[in-house]
Every structure is written in structure tokens, then in C-alpha cells.
Amino acid sequence: MDKAILIEGYAALFGAPDLSGDVIRAGAFARSLKAGAAPMLLQHRSGAIAGRWTRLVEDGRGLFVRGLIEAEGARKLVALGLDGLSIGFRARLWTPRVGGGRTLSDVDLVEVSLVAEPMQPLARFRTVGAAARAA
């Protein structure tokens, strides 16, 4: 029996510019979250399922996520210090920002990845514990 790793953190933060200058507004994920859960990927690689998100919700700070890292390779990377989060999305409604980037008001959330270097440097997760899972 392997142990899944329980993690939680913020995949996006409202009002905080990322490295490209994009700023996400509160409510930007609301429509997308109603449509269903997004997959947990490793480094935005299609098909590289790291585990599953058990909670994705907007709160006053940003997009809060909680999930179980189940893939052995992903668990090993977390043990080595991987702690970044990054969202894969399509912008639906946005306006340009002075100086570069966009203010994102509505996005289609495609996936949330575990990454080494997040575009939003504050998008990090922490390990909450381990959960038993069937082999």
C-alpha cells in the first residue's frame, strides 16, 4: 500500500501580478469551478497525472486547492522540495494592463499543475499529511 501525500495551497492569488504581469480578479474562476474539477498535472504535461484535487475554491485570497498526490514520481519530487503550483487556463474576459500583462476577469481553468517554478511566485503548496490508498 502506497501513501498519497495530502497537500494544500494557493494556485492563484487575486490582485498579485505574476511574472508576465497578469493579475487575476476575484471571481475569475467562478464559472469554471461550477463546470467541474480540473486535473492535477505535473509540470503542465498533458497526461502526466500527479494525483487528484479534492477541493478547488475561490476565497478572499485566491484559488485555494487541496488534493492528493498519488503518482510515485510526483511524490518523489515533493520529497525533494517541489512546492510550486501553476494554473493552465484560457482567458475569456481580460483587459490590458499599463506596463504589460492583463487583468483577467473570467478564465476557463483547464488544469492545476505541480511545478518547479510557478509563473506566480507566491503560488505554493504545503504538505498537510499522508493518506493510505490501495495499491
pLDDT of residue 131: 63
Specify whether the CB–CB gap between 11 and 126 falls below 8 A: no
* Each residue's pLDDT tens digit, 29-65: 999 999 888 999 999 999 999 999 999 999 999 999 9
Q: 90 has which bridge partners?
A: 108
Long-range contacts of 34-41, Cβ-Cβ distance < 8 Å, separation of 24 or more: 38/88, 38/109, 38/110, 38/111, 38/112, 39/111, 39/112, 40/67, 40/69, 40/111, 40/112, 40/113, 40/114, 41/88, 41/111, 41/112, 41/113, 41/114
The CATH number that domain 2-129 falls under is 3.20.16.10
Residue 133 has pLDDT above 70, yes or no: no
134: number of Cβ within 10 Å: 5
- Read off the pLDDT band of 129 (50, 70, 90): confident
Confidence of residue 104 (pLDDT cuts 50, 70, 90): very high
Residue 1's pLDDT is 45
pTM, entire model: 0.92
Q: Quote the distance between the C-alpha of residue 22 and its chain's center.
A: 15
